[in-house]
Structure 1
Amino acid sequence: MTTESKLLSGLRVLVPRGGTWGDLVAQALREQGAHPVIAPLVDFSHTSEEDKLVQALKDLESGHFDWMTATSSTVADVLSHHNAVVHPDTQVALVGEATAVAFREAGYPVTRTPSEENSTHALLEEWPEIDEPGVLKVLTLRSDVAIPVLTEGLIGRGHDVTQVLAFRTVGVPVSVHIREDIESGRINALLVASAKIAEEVAAQFPDLPESTIVACIGPNTLSVATAAGLRDNADSAVKQALLETVESVIDQSDMLD
Protein backbone atom coordinates (compact mmCIF):
# COMPACT_ATOMS: atom_id res chain seq x y z
CA MET A 1 0.00 0.00 0.00
CA THR A 2 1.42 3.41 -0.97
CA THR A 3 1.78 6.31 1.43
CA GLU A 4 -0.83 8.22 -0.60
CA SER A 5 -3.36 5.39 -0.39
CA LYS A 6 -2.95 5.20 3.39
CA LEU A 7 -3.51 8.93 3.73
CA LEU A 8 -6.36 9.22 1.24
CA SER A 9 -8.27 6.05 2.12
CA GLY A 10 -11.95 6.90 2.60
CA LEU A 11 -11.47 10.61 1.88
CA ARG A 12 -14.33 12.24 -0.06
CA VAL A 13 -12.81 14.67 -2.54
CA LEU A 14 -14.56 17.26 -4.69
CA VAL A 15 -13.26 17.10 -8.27
CA PRO A 16 -14.15 20.54 -9.71
CA ARG A 17 -13.97 19.74 -13.43
CA GLY A 18 -15.74 17.20 -15.61
CA GLY A 19 -14.80 15.71 -18.97
CA THR A 20 -11.52 13.92 -19.62
CA TRP A 21 -9.75 15.92 -16.92
CA GLY A 22 -12.29 14.95 -14.27
CA ASP A 23 -12.30 11.29 -15.31
CA LEU A 24 -8.50 11.00 -15.11
CA VAL A 25 -8.30 12.71 -11.74
CA ALA A 26 -11.21 10.69 -10.31
CA GLN A 27 -9.60 7.42 -11.41
CA ALA A 28 -6.27 8.38 -9.85
CA LEU A 29 -8.01 9.23 -6.57
CA ARG A 30 -9.93 5.94 -6.55
CA GLU A 31 -6.69 4.03 -7.01
CA GLN A 32 -5.46 5.63 -3.78
CA GLY A 33 -8.60 4.72 -1.87
CA ALA A 34 -10.33 8.10 -2.00
CA HIS A 35 -13.94 8.67 -3.02
CA PRO A 36 -14.06 11.35 -5.74
CA VAL A 37 -17.18 13.47 -6.20
CA ILE A 38 -17.19 15.07 -9.65
CA ALA A 39 -19.03 18.39 -9.40
CA PRO A 40 -17.83 20.95 -11.97
CA LEU A 41 -17.39 24.49 -10.67
CA VAL A 42 -16.48 25.75 -14.15
CA ASP A 43 -17.73 25.09 -17.64
CA PHE A 44 -16.72 26.28 -21.06
CA SER A 45 -18.65 28.67 -23.26
CA HIS A 46 -18.35 30.11 -26.75
CA THR A 47 -15.39 32.34 -27.34
CA SER A 48 -15.62 36.09 -27.71
CA GLU A 49 -13.46 35.60 -30.82
CA GLU A 50 -15.84 33.32 -32.71
CA ASP A 51 -15.24 34.92 -36.13
CA LYS A 52 -11.49 34.74 -35.64
CA LEU A 53 -11.77 31.11 -34.52
CA VAL A 54 -13.85 30.12 -37.56
CA GLN A 55 -11.34 31.73 -39.91
CA ALA A 56 -8.42 30.09 -38.11
CA LEU A 57 -10.07 26.66 -38.42
CA LYS A 58 -10.57 27.23 -42.16
CA ASP A 59 -6.87 28.08 -42.42
CA LEU A 60 -6.06 24.97 -40.37
CA GLU A 61 -7.96 22.77 -42.82
CA SER A 62 -6.27 24.40 -45.82
CA GLY A 63 -2.78 23.66 -44.50
CA HIS A 64 -1.85 27.27 -43.75
CA PHE A 65 -0.23 26.34 -40.43
CA ASP A 66 2.91 24.28 -39.87
CA TRP A 67 1.88 23.52 -36.28
CA MET A 68 -1.11 23.80 -33.98
CA THR A 69 -0.86 23.79 -30.19
CA ALA A 70 -3.29 23.05 -27.38
CA THR A 71 -2.86 22.72 -23.63
CA SER A 72 -6.46 21.96 -22.65
CA SER A 73 -8.64 18.95 -23.38
CA THR A 74 -11.48 21.40 -24.06
CA VAL A 75 -9.79 22.40 -27.33
CA ALA A 76 -10.61 18.93 -28.68
CA ASP A 77 -14.26 19.58 -27.88
CA VAL A 78 -14.08 22.94 -29.67
CA LEU A 79 -12.56 21.32 -32.76
CA SER A 80 -15.21 18.60 -32.77
CA HIS A 81 -18.02 21.13 -32.29
CA HIS A 82 -16.85 22.99 -35.40
CA ASN A 83 -16.20 19.77 -37.36
CA ALA A 84 -12.66 21.05 -37.76
CA VAL A 85 -10.16 19.22 -39.95
CA VAL A 86 -6.42 19.23 -39.30
CA HIS A 87 -4.51 19.26 -42.60
CA PRO A 88 -2.22 16.23 -43.00
CA ASP A 89 0.82 18.52 -43.28
CA THR A 90 0.02 20.36 -40.03
CA GLN A 91 1.66 18.93 -36.93
CA VAL A 92 0.08 19.09 -33.48
CA ALA A 93 1.93 19.84 -30.23
CA LEU A 94 0.07 19.23 -26.97
CA VAL A 95 0.63 19.53 -23.25
CA GLY A 96 -1.21 17.46 -20.67
CA GLU A 97 -2.29 13.84 -20.44
CA ALA A 98 -5.97 14.84 -20.49
CA THR A 99 -5.34 16.93 -23.60
CA ALA A 100 -3.66 14.08 -25.46
CA VAL A 101 -6.38 11.61 -24.47
CA ALA A 102 -9.13 13.97 -25.60
CA PHE A 103 -7.45 14.63 -28.96
CA ARG A 104 -6.94 10.94 -29.68
CA GLU A 105 -10.48 10.05 -28.65
CA ALA A 106 -11.81 12.78 -30.96
CA GLY A 107 -9.75 11.38 -33.84
CA TYR A 108 -7.22 14.22 -34.05
CA PRO A 109 -3.49 13.67 -34.53
CA VAL A 110 -0.91 14.12 -31.79
CA THR A 111 2.61 14.82 -33.09
CA ARG A 112 4.48 15.96 -30.03
CA THR A 113 4.08 15.96 -26.25
CA PRO A 114 6.80 16.53 -23.65
CA SER A 115 8.71 13.33 -22.89
CA GLU A 116 9.78 14.23 -19.36
CA GLU A 117 7.79 16.72 -17.27
CA ASN A 118 4.41 17.19 -18.95
CA SER A 119 4.35 20.98 -18.83
CA THR A 120 4.26 23.98 -21.13
CA HIS A 121 7.82 24.93 -20.23
CA ALA A 122 9.00 21.39 -20.96
CA LEU A 123 7.35 21.45 -24.40
CA LEU A 124 9.23 24.64 -25.30
CA GLU A 125 12.48 23.00 -24.22
CA GLU A 126 11.83 19.71 -26.05
CA TRP A 127 10.50 21.11 -29.33
CA PRO A 128 13.56 21.14 -31.65
CA GLU A 129 11.78 22.58 -34.70
CA ILE A 130 11.11 25.91 -32.97
CA ASP A 131 14.84 26.52 -32.49
CA GLU A 132 15.81 25.73 -36.09
CA PRO A 133 16.33 28.46 -38.74
CA GLY A 134 13.16 29.71 -40.41
CA VAL A 135 9.79 31.01 -39.32
CA LEU A 136 7.01 28.55 -38.47
CA LYS A 137 3.34 29.39 -38.81
CA VAL A 138 1.71 28.26 -35.57
CA LEU A 139 -1.91 28.32 -34.42
CA THR A 140 -2.30 28.44 -30.63
CA LEU A 141 -5.77 27.72 -29.25
CA ARG A 142 -6.39 28.52 -25.60
CA SER A 143 -8.77 29.63 -22.88
CA ASP A 144 -9.52 33.25 -22.07
CA VAL A 145 -8.13 32.75 -18.54
CA ALA A 146 -4.90 30.98 -19.54
CA ILE A 147 -1.55 32.73 -19.13
CA PRO A 148 -0.02 32.73 -22.65
CA VAL A 149 3.34 31.14 -21.78
CA LEU A 150 3.50 28.91 -24.86
CA THR A 151 2.28 31.65 -27.21
CA GLU A 152 4.82 34.14 -25.88
CA GLY A 153 7.58 31.52 -26.02
CA LEU A 154 6.91 30.94 -29.72
CA ILE A 155 6.66 34.67 -30.51
CA GLY A 156 9.90 35.25 -28.62
CA ARG A 157 11.63 32.77 -30.93
CA GLY A 158 10.48 34.77 -33.96
CA HIS A 159 7.67 32.54 -35.21
CA ASP A 160 4.46 33.67 -36.92
CA VAL A 161 1.84 32.90 -34.26
CA THR A 162 -1.92 33.16 -34.68
CA GLN A 163 -3.35 33.07 -31.18
CA VAL A 164 -7.07 32.52 -30.73
CA LEU A 165 -9.20 32.33 -27.61
CA ALA A 166 -10.96 29.07 -28.43
CA PHE A 167 -13.33 29.13 -25.45
CA ARG A 168 -14.32 31.07 -22.34
CA THR A 169 -14.24 29.64 -18.84
CA VAL A 170 -17.36 30.44 -16.81
CA GLY A 171 -18.42 29.60 -13.27
CA VAL A 172 -21.09 26.99 -12.56
CA PRO A 173 -23.14 26.82 -9.33
CA VAL A 174 -23.12 23.43 -7.67
CA SER A 175 -26.30 21.58 -6.75
CA VAL A 176 -27.95 22.02 -3.35
CA HIS A 177 -26.91 18.47 -2.47
CA ILE A 178 -23.22 19.16 -3.13
CA ARG A 179 -23.40 22.45 -1.26
CA GLU A 180 -24.89 20.71 1.78
CA ASP A 181 -22.22 18.00 1.67
CA ILE A 182 -19.47 20.62 1.61
CA GLU A 183 -20.95 22.83 4.31
CA SER A 184 -21.56 19.84 6.58
CA GLY A 185 -18.04 18.48 6.08
CA ARG A 186 -19.22 15.27 4.43
CA ILE A 187 -16.94 16.22 1.55
CA ASN A 188 -13.55 16.30 3.24
CA ALA A 189 -11.37 17.95 0.60
CA LEU A 190 -11.65 20.35 -2.33
CA LEU A 191 -9.33 20.31 -5.31
CA VAL A 192 -8.72 23.86 -6.50
CA ALA A 193 -7.31 23.34 -9.98
CA SER A 194 -7.19 26.86 -11.42
CA ALA A 195 -7.50 30.51 -10.49
CA LYS A 196 -11.09 30.57 -11.78
CA ILE A 197 -11.99 27.57 -9.63
CA ALA A 198 -10.42 29.31 -6.63
CA GLU A 199 -12.72 32.27 -7.21
CA GLU A 200 -15.74 29.97 -7.48
CA VAL A 201 -14.87 28.07 -4.28
CA ALA A 202 -14.48 31.34 -2.38
CA ALA A 203 -17.77 32.70 -3.73
CA GLN A 204 -19.88 29.56 -3.41
CA PHE A 205 -18.55 28.22 -0.10
CA PRO A 206 -17.74 31.22 2.11
CA ASP A 207 -18.07 29.20 5.32
CA LEU A 208 -16.00 26.08 4.80
CA PRO A 209 -15.62 23.83 7.85
CA GLU A 210 -12.23 24.15 9.55
CA SER A 211 -11.57 20.48 8.85
CA THR A 212 -12.01 20.80 5.07
CA ILE A 213 -8.76 20.42 3.16
CA VAL A 214 -8.23 22.96 0.38
CA ALA A 215 -5.65 21.65 -2.09
CA CYS A 216 -4.49 24.28 -4.60
CA ILE A 217 -2.70 23.10 -7.73
CA GLY A 218 0.07 25.46 -8.80
CA PRO A 219 1.45 28.76 -7.44
CA ASN A 220 -0.85 30.98 -9.49
CA THR A 221 -3.92 29.14 -8.19
CA LEU A 222 -2.60 29.34 -4.63
CA SER A 223 -1.97 33.08 -4.97
CA VAL A 224 -5.52 33.75 -6.20
CA ALA A 225 -6.99 31.44 -3.56
CA THR A 226 -5.11 33.21 -0.78
CA ALA A 227 -6.21 36.62 -2.07
CA ALA A 228 -9.81 35.35 -2.12
CA GLY A 229 -9.53 34.32 1.52
CA LEU A 230 -9.28 30.55 1.11
CA ARG A 231 -7.39 28.69 3.79
CA ASP A 232 -4.11 26.99 2.83
CA ASN A 233 -3.49 23.68 4.64
CA ALA A 234 0.24 24.10 4.08
CA ASP A 235 1.37 21.51 6.61
CA SER A 236 -1.22 18.89 5.79
CA ALA A 237 0.25 15.53 4.77
CA VAL A 238 -3.13 14.58 3.32
CA LYS A 239 -3.10 17.72 1.15
CA GLN A 240 0.36 16.86 -0.13
CA ALA A 241 -0.79 13.32 -0.95
CA LEU A 242 -3.79 14.76 -2.81
CA LEU A 243 -1.60 17.08 -4.86
CA GLU A 244 0.87 14.32 -5.70
CA THR A 245 -1.96 12.04 -6.82
CA VAL A 246 -3.54 14.70 -9.02
CA GLU A 247 -0.24 15.87 -10.47
CA SER A 248 0.62 12.29 -11.41
CA VAL A 249 -2.05 12.41 -14.13
CA ILE A 250 -2.47 16.09 -14.99
CA ASP A 251 -0.44 19.29 -14.89
CA GLN A 252 -1.09 22.99 -14.80
CA SER A 253 -1.04 23.28 -18.58
CA ASP A 254 -4.43 24.80 -19.27
CA MET A 255 -3.78 27.52 -16.72
CA LEU A 256 -0.68 28.52 -18.68
CA ASP A 257 -1.67 28.49 -22.34
Structure 2
Amino acid sequence: MPRPEPHDPRGLTGRRILITRSADRAKPLASLLTGLGAAPLVLPLIDFERAKDQAILDDVLDRLGAGEFDWLVISSITSARVLLEKAAERGTNPAGLVPEATRVATIGPSSLRVLESIGLSVHLAPTQLQSADGLVELWESAPARVLLPQADIAAPGLREGLASKGADVTSVVAYRTVDYPAVAELRLTAELPAAVEASEDRVPPMLSPDEARAALDAGTVDAVVAASPSAARRIAHTLPPLGRCRLVAIGRPTAAEASRLGLTVAATAKEPTPDGIVAALESVFANEGNPQ
Protein backbone atom coordinates (compact mmCIF):
# COMPACT_ATOMS: atom_id res chain seq x y z
CA MET A 1 0.00 0.00 0.00
CA PRO A 2 1.49 3.42 -0.95
CA ARG A 3 2.70 5.64 1.85
CA PRO A 4 0.51 8.68 2.53
CA GLU A 5 1.68 12.15 1.67
CA PRO A 6 3.10 14.23 4.55
CA HIS A 7 0.30 16.05 6.30
CA ASP A 8 -0.19 19.39 7.95
CA PRO A 9 -0.27 18.61 11.69
CA ARG A 10 -2.97 21.22 12.25
CA GLY A 11 -5.13 20.71 9.14
CA LEU A 12 -6.49 18.21 6.65
CA THR A 13 -3.72 18.34 4.05
CA GLY A 14 -2.49 14.81 3.45
CA ARG A 15 -4.92 13.27 5.91
CA ARG A 16 -6.44 9.98 4.81
CA ILE A 17 -10.13 9.95 5.74
CA LEU A 18 -12.18 6.76 5.51
CA ILE A 19 -15.85 7.32 4.64
CA THR A 20 -18.06 4.31 5.40
CA ARG A 21 -20.61 4.94 2.67
CA SER A 22 -21.17 3.73 -0.86
CA ALA A 23 -19.15 5.65 -3.44
CA ASP A 24 -22.10 7.67 -4.77
CA ARG A 25 -23.24 8.76 -1.30
CA ALA A 26 -19.65 9.56 -0.26
CA LYS A 27 -18.97 11.95 -3.14
CA PRO A 28 -20.18 15.26 -1.63
CA LEU A 29 -18.00 14.80 1.47
CA ALA A 30 -15.12 13.38 -0.56
CA SER A 31 -15.21 16.40 -2.87
CA LEU A 32 -14.92 18.81 0.06
CA LEU A 33 -12.08 16.82 1.60
CA THR A 34 -10.19 16.67 -1.68
CA GLY A 35 -10.48 20.43 -2.04
CA LEU A 36 -8.86 20.82 1.37
CA GLY A 37 -5.95 18.59 0.47
CA ALA A 38 -7.16 15.44 2.22
CA ALA A 39 -7.23 11.98 0.67
CA PRO A 40 -10.72 10.48 1.03
CA LEU A 41 -11.16 6.72 0.90
CA VAL A 42 -14.41 4.78 0.74
CA LEU A 43 -15.38 1.58 2.50
CA PRO A 44 -19.08 0.78 2.00
CA LEU A 45 -20.43 -0.96 5.09
CA ILE A 46 -24.19 -0.56 4.74
CA ASP A 47 -26.60 -0.64 1.83
CA PHE A 48 -30.34 -0.29 1.29
CA GLU A 49 -33.00 -2.64 -0.01
CA ARG A 50 -36.67 -2.18 -0.75
CA ALA A 51 -39.08 -2.93 2.07
CA LYS A 52 -40.15 -6.55 2.20
CA ASP A 53 -43.85 -5.70 2.35
CA GLN A 54 -44.45 -3.44 -0.64
CA ALA A 55 -48.22 -3.89 -0.31
CA ILE A 56 -48.25 -2.04 3.02
CA LEU A 57 -46.09 0.75 1.63
CA ASP A 58 -48.27 1.06 -1.47
CA ASP A 59 -51.38 1.17 0.70
CA VAL A 60 -50.16 4.09 2.83
CA LEU A 61 -49.06 5.93 -0.31
CA ASP A 62 -52.58 5.46 -1.69
CA ARG A 63 -53.92 6.90 1.55
CA LEU A 64 -51.46 9.78 1.30
CA GLY A 65 -52.68 10.56 -2.21
CA ALA A 66 -56.28 10.42 -1.01
CA GLY A 67 -55.58 13.18 1.53
CA GLU A 68 -55.71 11.09 4.69
CA PHE A 69 -52.57 12.68 6.18
CA ASP A 70 -51.94 16.26 7.29
CA TRP A 71 -48.16 15.82 7.29
CA LEU A 72 -45.57 13.72 5.50
CA VAL A 73 -42.36 13.51 7.56
CA ILE A 74 -39.21 12.48 5.68
CA SER A 75 -36.41 11.75 8.12
CA SER A 76 -33.68 10.51 5.76
CA ILE A 77 -32.35 10.99 2.26
CA THR A 78 -32.96 7.29 1.64
CA SER A 79 -36.68 7.80 2.28
CA ALA A 80 -36.59 10.45 -0.45
CA ARG A 81 -35.09 7.86 -2.80
CA VAL A 82 -37.99 5.55 -1.95
CA LEU A 83 -40.44 8.30 -2.93
CA LEU A 84 -38.61 8.69 -6.23
CA GLU A 85 -38.83 4.99 -6.93
CA LYS A 86 -42.49 4.65 -5.95
CA ALA A 87 -43.42 7.73 -7.99
CA ALA A 88 -41.69 6.28 -11.05
CA GLU A 89 -43.65 3.04 -10.61
CA ARG A 90 -46.84 5.11 -10.73
CA GLY A 91 -45.80 7.19 -13.71
CA THR A 92 -45.49 10.42 -11.78
CA ASN A 93 -42.99 12.38 -9.71
CA PRO A 94 -42.76 12.66 -5.90
CA ALA A 95 -44.88 15.80 -5.89
CA GLY A 96 -47.58 13.75 -7.60
CA LEU A 97 -47.75 11.51 -4.53
CA VAL A 98 -48.41 14.36 -2.09
CA PRO A 99 -51.66 16.40 -2.15
CA GLU A 100 -51.30 20.18 -1.98
CA ALA A 101 -52.98 20.26 1.41
CA THR A 102 -50.46 17.85 2.93
CA ARG A 103 -47.45 19.58 4.46
CA VAL A 104 -43.95 18.13 4.41
CA ALA A 105 -41.42 18.15 7.25
CA THR A 106 -37.85 16.94 7.49
CA ILE A 107 -34.95 16.99 9.94
CA GLY A 108 -32.30 19.29 8.49
CA PRO A 109 -30.87 21.29 5.58
CA SER A 110 -29.42 18.34 3.66
CA SER A 111 -32.71 16.46 3.52
CA LEU A 112 -34.54 19.74 2.83
CA ARG A 113 -32.36 20.36 -0.24
CA VAL A 114 -32.94 16.81 -1.43
CA LEU A 115 -36.72 17.07 -1.07
CA GLU A 116 -36.80 20.40 -2.87
CA SER A 117 -34.63 18.95 -5.64
CA ILE A 118 -37.25 16.27 -6.31
CA GLY A 119 -40.09 18.77 -6.40
CA LEU A 120 -41.43 18.75 -2.85
CA SER A 121 -42.04 21.95 -0.86
CA VAL A 122 -40.83 21.65 2.73
CA HIS A 123 -42.90 23.44 5.34
CA LEU A 124 -40.94 22.60 8.50
CA ALA A 125 -37.28 21.76 9.16
CA PRO A 126 -35.02 22.57 12.12
CA THR A 127 -32.06 24.87 11.59
CA GLN A 128 -30.47 24.73 15.04
CA LEU A 129 -30.72 21.15 16.31
CA GLN A 130 -30.74 19.36 12.95
CA SER A 131 -32.07 15.96 13.93
CA ALA A 132 -35.22 14.09 14.84
CA ASP A 133 -35.08 15.77 18.27
CA GLY A 134 -34.82 19.15 16.60
CA LEU A 135 -37.94 18.50 14.55
CA VAL A 136 -39.86 17.36 17.62
CA GLU A 137 -38.87 20.57 19.40
CA LEU A 138 -40.31 22.62 16.54
CA TRP A 139 -43.47 20.58 16.20
CA GLU A 140 -46.60 22.38 17.30
CA SER A 141 -48.62 20.53 19.92
CA ALA A 142 -51.88 19.80 18.13
CA PRO A 143 -53.77 16.87 16.66
CA ALA A 144 -52.40 15.93 13.24
CA ARG A 145 -52.36 12.85 11.06
CA VAL A 146 -48.75 12.09 10.17
CA LEU A 147 -47.21 9.62 7.73
CA LEU A 148 -43.66 8.65 8.69
CA PRO A 149 -41.84 6.34 6.23
CA GLN A 150 -38.61 5.06 7.79
CA ALA A 151 -35.94 2.37 7.79
CA ASP A 152 -36.71 -1.00 9.32
CA ILE A 153 -34.18 -0.24 12.08
CA ALA A 154 -35.26 3.35 12.73
CA ALA A 155 -35.12 4.39 16.37
CA PRO A 156 -38.53 5.10 17.90
CA GLY A 157 -37.61 8.59 19.09
CA LEU A 158 -39.14 10.57 16.22
CA ARG A 159 -42.37 8.60 16.15
CA GLU A 160 -42.76 8.81 19.93
CA GLY A 161 -41.80 12.47 20.03
CA LEU A 162 -44.40 13.45 17.44
CA ALA A 163 -47.01 11.35 19.23
CA SER A 164 -46.19 13.15 22.48
CA LYS A 165 -47.15 16.41 20.73
CA GLY A 166 -50.59 15.01 19.86
CA ALA A 167 -49.86 13.60 16.40
CA ASP A 168 -51.54 10.43 15.18
CA VAL A 169 -48.46 8.84 13.58
CA THR A 170 -48.61 6.11 10.95
CA SER A 171 -45.10 4.69 10.74
CA VAL A 172 -44.27 2.41 7.81
CA VAL A 173 -41.11 0.56 6.80
CA ALA A 174 -40.00 2.22 3.57
CA TYR A 175 -36.66 0.43 3.17
CA ARG A 176 -34.29 -2.01 4.84
CA THR A 177 -30.76 -1.24 6.02
CA VAL A 178 -28.48 -4.19 5.26
CA ASP A 179 -24.79 -5.03 5.24
CA TYR A 180 -23.05 -4.04 2.02
CA PRO A 181 -23.65 -5.18 -0.65
CA ALA A 182 -27.42 -5.42 -0.94
CA VAL A 183 -29.00 -8.19 -2.97
CA ALA A 184 -28.89 -6.83 -6.52
CA GLU A 185 -32.56 -7.34 -7.33
CA LEU A 186 -33.63 -5.80 -4.01
CA ARG A 187 -31.26 -2.82 -3.93
CA LEU A 188 -32.81 0.62 -3.81
CA THR A 189 -31.48 2.17 -7.02
CA ALA A 190 -33.38 5.44 -7.48
CA GLU A 191 -30.84 8.21 -8.09
CA LEU A 192 -31.17 11.69 -6.68
CA PRO A 193 -30.55 14.68 -8.96
CA ALA A 194 -26.92 15.23 -9.89
CA ALA A 195 -26.83 18.55 -8.04
CA VAL A 196 -27.54 16.70 -4.81
CA GLU A 197 -25.32 13.71 -5.31
CA ALA A 198 -22.48 15.72 -6.91
CA SER A 199 -22.32 12.98 -9.51
CA GLU A 200 -19.75 14.74 -11.67
CA ASP A 201 -17.12 14.56 -8.93
CA ARG A 202 -14.43 11.94 -9.23
CA VAL A 203 -15.27 8.81 -7.28
CA PRO A 204 -12.75 8.43 -4.43
CA PRO A 205 -10.74 5.20 -4.09
CA MET A 206 -12.82 2.34 -2.68
CA LEU A 207 -11.20 -0.12 -0.29
CA SER A 208 -12.11 -3.71 0.41
CA PRO A 209 -12.52 -4.69 4.09
CA ASP A 210 -9.11 -6.42 3.94
CA GLU A 211 -7.46 -3.31 2.50
CA ALA A 212 -9.08 -1.14 5.17
CA ARG A 213 -7.87 -3.52 7.85
CA ALA A 214 -4.32 -3.41 6.49
CA ALA A 215 -4.38 0.39 6.38
CA LEU A 216 -5.62 0.61 9.96
CA ASP A 217 -2.96 -1.84 11.13
CA ALA A 218 -0.31 0.21 9.33
CA GLY A 219 -1.56 3.43 10.92
CA THR A 220 -2.12 5.12 7.57
CA VAL A 221 -5.78 6.07 8.12
CA ASP A 222 -6.17 9.27 10.12
CA ALA A 223 -9.93 9.26 10.66
CA VAL A 224 -13.06 7.26 9.92
CA VAL A 225 -16.45 8.91 9.46
CA ALA A 226 -19.61 7.25 10.78
CA ALA A 227 -22.59 8.77 8.97
CA SER A 228 -25.38 6.94 10.82
CA PRO A 229 -25.95 4.76 13.90
CA SER A 230 -26.11 1.71 11.63
CA ALA A 231 -22.72 2.66 10.19
CA ALA A 232 -21.36 2.96 13.73
CA ARG A 233 -22.58 -0.56 14.44
CA ARG A 234 -20.87 -1.90 11.33
CA ILE A 235 -17.66 -0.04 12.19
CA ALA A 236 -17.71 -1.57 15.67
CA HIS A 237 -18.25 -5.02 14.18
CA THR A 238 -15.84 -4.78 11.25
CA LEU A 239 -12.97 -2.38 11.90
CA PRO A 240 -11.64 -2.46 15.50
CA PRO A 241 -9.05 -2.01 16.72
CA LEU A 242 -8.93 1.45 15.18
CA GLY A 243 -5.45 2.18 16.53
CA ARG A 244 -4.44 5.79 15.86
CA CYS A 245 -7.45 6.32 13.60
CA ARG A 246 -9.98 8.78 15.07
CA LEU A 247 -13.72 8.25 14.73
CA VAL A 248 -15.90 11.23 13.79
CA ALA A 249 -19.69 10.98 14.03
CA ILE A 250 -22.18 12.82 11.84
CA GLY A 251 -24.44 13.68 14.80
CA ARG A 252 -25.36 12.97 18.37
CA PRO A 253 -27.38 9.78 17.76
CA THR A 254 -24.47 8.29 15.82
CA ALA A 255 -21.98 9.38 18.49
CA ALA A 256 -24.16 7.88 21.22
CA GLU A 257 -24.40 4.56 19.41
CA ALA A 258 -20.65 4.47 18.79
CA SER A 259 -19.96 5.19 22.46
CA ARG A 260 -22.44 2.52 23.53
CA LEU A 261 -20.49 0.03 21.44
CA GLY A 262 -17.20 0.96 23.11
CA LEU A 263 -15.80 3.16 20.35
CA THR A 264 -14.03 6.40 21.25
CA VAL A 265 -15.60 9.35 19.45
CA ALA A 266 -13.02 12.02 18.70
CA ALA A 267 -15.56 14.60 17.50
CA THR A 268 -19.22 14.97 16.58
CA ALA A 269 -20.37 17.20 13.74
CA LYS A 270 -22.48 20.12 14.93
CA GLU A 271 -24.45 19.89 11.69
CA PRO A 272 -25.16 16.56 9.92
CA THR A 273 -23.77 17.77 6.60
CA PRO A 274 -20.50 17.39 4.67
CA ASP A 275 -19.49 20.86 5.89
CA GLY A 276 -20.29 19.87 9.46
CA ILE A 277 -18.22 16.70 9.19
CA VAL A 278 -15.29 18.61 7.71
CA ALA A 279 -15.45 21.12 10.57
CA ALA A 280 -15.41 18.25 13.09
CA LEU A 281 -12.41 16.68 11.37
CA GLU A 282 -10.59 20.00 11.34
CA SER A 283 -11.23 20.42 15.06
CA VAL A 284 -9.72 17.01 15.79
CA PHE A 285 -6.48 17.70 13.98
CA ALA A 286 -6.26 21.34 15.11
CA ASN A 287 -6.52 20.19 18.73
CA GLU A 288 -3.82 17.63 18.16
CA GLY A 289 -1.56 20.38 16.92
CA ASN A 290 -2.06 22.46 20.05
CA PRO A 291 0.45 22.10 22.88
CA GLN A 292 -0.88 20.42 26.00
Q: 2:221 aligns with which of 172, 177, 187?
A: 187
1:217 and 1:46 map into 2 onto residues whose CA distance is 24
CA distance in structure 1 between the partners assigned to 2:170 and 2:271 by the alignment: 35
Q: Secondary structure at the match of 2:11?
A: helix
Partner of 1:115, secondary structure, is: coil
**Equivalent-residue separation in structure 2 for 1:115 and 1:215 (angstroms):** 21
Q: Specify whether residues 116 and 225 from structure 1 end up closer, same or farther in structure 2 by C-alpha distance, changes over 3 A only.
A: closer
| Deviation larger for 74-83 or 88-97 | 88-97
Q: Distance in 1 between matches of 2:173 and 2:238?
A: 27
Cα distance in 2, alignment partners of residues 115 and 203 from structure 1: 33
Say whether the 8 Å CA contact 1:191–1:214 is kept in structure 2: yes
Provide the secondary structure at the position in 2 that maps to 1:7.
Answer: coil
Identity over the aligned pairs, expressed in percent?
31
In the TM superposition, residue 213 of structure 1 has moved relative to its aligned partner by 1.6
Which of residues 111, 124, 137 in structure 1 aligns to 2:123? 111
| 1:172 alignment partner in structure 2 | 180
Distance 1:227 1:160 in 2: 31
Distance 1:63 1:23, change over 3 A: farther
Alpha-carbon distance change, 5 to 158 in structure 1, aligned in 2, over 3 angstroms: farther
Q: How many residue pairs are counted as aligned between the two chains?
A: 236
Cα distance in 2 between the residues matched to 1:20 and 1:249: 17
> 1:90 corresponds to which residue?
102
Partner residue in 2 for 1:22 = 26
- Structure 2 counterpart of 1:35, which letter? A
1:1-257 to 2 correspondences below 5 Å: 6-18=10-22, 22-83=26-87, 84=94, 85-127=97-139, 130-132=140-142, 135-172=143-180, 175=208, 176-208=210-242, 210-230=243-263, 232=264, 239-240=266-267, 243=269, 249=275
SS in 2 for 1:164: strand
Asked if the contact 1:21–1:73 (Cα under 8 Å) also holds between the matched residues in 2, the reply is: no
Q: Assess if the C-alpha contact under 8 Å between 1:70 and 1:93 holds in 2.
A: yes
After superposition, the Cα gap between the structure-2 partners of 1:143 and 1:187, relative to the gap in structure 1 and judged at 3 Å, is: same
Counterparts of 2:251 and 2:213, CA distance in 1: 25
Q: Is residue 25–residue 246 contact of structure 1 (8 Å, CA) maintained in 2?
A: no
TM-score (norm 1): 0.77
1:223 Cα shift? Answer: 4.6
| Contact 1:21-1:250 within 8 A present in 2 as well | no
Contact 2:130 2:272 in 1 (8 A): no
Q: Please name the residue that 2:283 is paired with.
A: none
Q: Is contact 1:29-1:246 (8 Å) kept?
A: no
For 1:205 and 1:98, how far apart are their aligned partners in 2?
28
Structure 1 residue runs of 5 or longer lacking an equivalent are 234-238, 252-257
For structure 2, the residue ranges without an aligned partner over 5 or more in a row are 1-7, 88-93, 182-206, 278-292
Q: Identify if the C-alpha distance between structure 1 residues 5 and 46 changes in structure 2 by more than 3 Å, giving closer, same or farther.
A: farther
Deviations along 1:56-95, one digit per CA (max 9) or x if unpaired, are: 1111122221110011000111011111511222110011
